Amino acid sequence: MGAGAAPRGAPRPPLGPPGPARYDPWVARHQHDPLRDVDRVLVDGSNLLHAVSRAADGSRAPAQAVVGRLRAALPAAVRIELVFDGAADRGLRNTRIASGLTVRHSGRRTGDELILDLARSAGDLVVTDDRELRQALAMRGTRTAGLQWLVGRLDRPRLAAPSIGNRRPPRAPRRDDRDDD
C-alpha cells in the first residue's frame, strides 16, 4: 500500500458535492461523444481513403466509394466537408455531392493548409490522423478525432430497411387459370 492510500475496504470519499448527478471523473472524461455540439465535420479525405484501403485489400479506394458510407455514418444535421490534397477532377471543384456533404480539393496548397483555413468555428470537428495538423488545431481550440473513430462508424452494420414495415411477408402473386389456355 502506497503512502496516503486508504486501507482496503475503507469507504471511498465522496466524489463531489452532494447532488442528483455525481459521476466518477474518469467516466466523465473518457465517455464522450466527438459529435456533441458539432455543426460541421471536416474530414481529411486522403487519410480516410488510406485508412479504408488498409482495412480492405490494400489497393487505394476511389473517393466515390466513401461518400455514401460517410453520409450514412453521421447524423443528417451535421454538415460534412471531405478535403482532398491536390487538384479536383474536372467539374468537381468544391462540389456538393450529397445532401450536407461537400467535397473540396486543396489545389496548389496541401490539404492540411486548407483544413486549417476552414476550421474556424467552435462547432467544427476535424477527423484526421495527421499528428501535426491535430496539434495545430488543438492550439486554436478546434476539436479533433482520429480516423479510427470514423472508420468504426463506417463499419457499423446497418439495417437494409430501417422502418418497421409489415411483419407479414408479401402475398404470393395470384395465378389466373384463364392465362394457361
Of the candidate CATH numbers 1.20.120, 3.40.50, 3.30.300, 3.30.450, the domain formed by 34-154 belongs to: 3.40.50
**Spatial separation of the C-alpha atoms in residues 101 and 10, rounded to whole Å:** 55
Give one word for 118, left, alpha or beta, with left for phi > 0 and alpha for psi -120 to 50: alpha
CA 74 to chain centre: 6
Query: pTM of the predicted model, to two decimals?
Result: 0.65
3: pLDDT strictly greater than 80:
no
Domain locations in the chain? 34-154
pLDDT per residue as tens digits for the range 14-48: 555 555 555 445 444 445 778 888 899 999 988 88
pLDDT per residue as tens digits for the range 119-163: 987 889 999 999 999 999 988 889 999 998 898 888 776 544 455
From 76, 94, 96, select the one nearest 35 (Cα to Cα): 76
Strand duo 95-98 + 124-127: pairing: unpaired
Give the per-residue pLDDT at 30: 43
Structural contact between residues 66 and 48, judged by C-beta atoms closer than 8 angstroms: yes
